Amino acid sequence: MPEVVAIYPGSFDPLTNGHVDIIQRGSRLFDRIIVSVLVNLEKRPLFTVHERVDIARGVFKALSNVEVDTFDGLLVDYAGSRHAKVIVKGLRAVSDFEYEMQMALMNRRLNQDVETVFMMPAEPYTYVSSRLVKEVVALGGSVTGLVPATVEALLREKKLARETLRA
Ligand code: PNS
């Protein structure tokens, strides 16, 4: 039987425990899951691609079937190049559904051989997003338990660096 490879794509700016939860579930379901960090030159991310890759590699070092990679261009082309037949996406709430369905159907139109699989994170993470995590930390709040410890430490470092620059 050929192995089933899944791609879990995203910006991961930064990785949250919601992402971690989906990746762990995916690693139990598929032979291999490739966490694929989007290299998006248009957006101005808080974390560099290198930092985002390093964080994910650190978090998943004990899971031998989780790989971390980067991609740009069309997701389905990248999936093809990695021999992946599955795209895994997390669905937190109904509000995620419309955009995710558009993307899934567009990706299917672009490549019939790649199937999108939606997975629900554990309930405590249904409201967690990278955007909210950054906002809470920037405004002095705590995100303990919502992101991996390495992410929390880096968020604090970046906040301190910005405050020092402003002083
Ligand atoms: O974490 P994000 O930013 O919500 O992830 C979005 C991502 C990376 C899944 C999406 O932007 C994407 O697939 N980009 C690749 C470009 C592409 O293939 N576009 C057509 C998709 S319908």
For the stretch 75-98, pLDDT in tens is 999 999 999 999 999 999 988 999
What is the dotted CATH code of the domain comprising 5-126?
3.40.50.620
Nearest protein Cα to ligand 1, atom 6: 10
Residue spans of the domains in the chain: they are: 5-126
Question: Ligand 1 mean position to 167 CA, how many Å?
Answer: 37
pLDDT, residue 40, reads 82
Q: How far is CA 86 from CA 51, 99, 165, in A?
A: 26, 18, 44
pLDDT, residue 160, reads 87
Residue 162 scores a pLDDT above 90: no
pLDDT, residue 165, reads 80
Nearest protein Cα to ligand 1, atom 1: 10
Are 70 and 37 in contact by the 8 Å Cβ rule? The answer is yes
Nearest protein Cα to ligand 1, atom 13: 75
Q: What is the mean pLDDT of residues 5-15?
A: 97
Residues marked as catalytic:
19, 43, 92, 130
- pLDDT digits 0-9 by tens, 16-58: 999 999 999 999 999 999 999 999 877 789 999 999 999 999 9
Does this model's pTM top 0.85? My answer is: yes
Contact 59 CB / ligand 1 (< 6 Å): no
Contact 105 CB / ligand 1 (< 6 Å): no
Q: What is the phi-psi region of residue 89: left when phi exceeds 0, alpha when psi lies from -120 to 50, beta otherwise?
A: beta
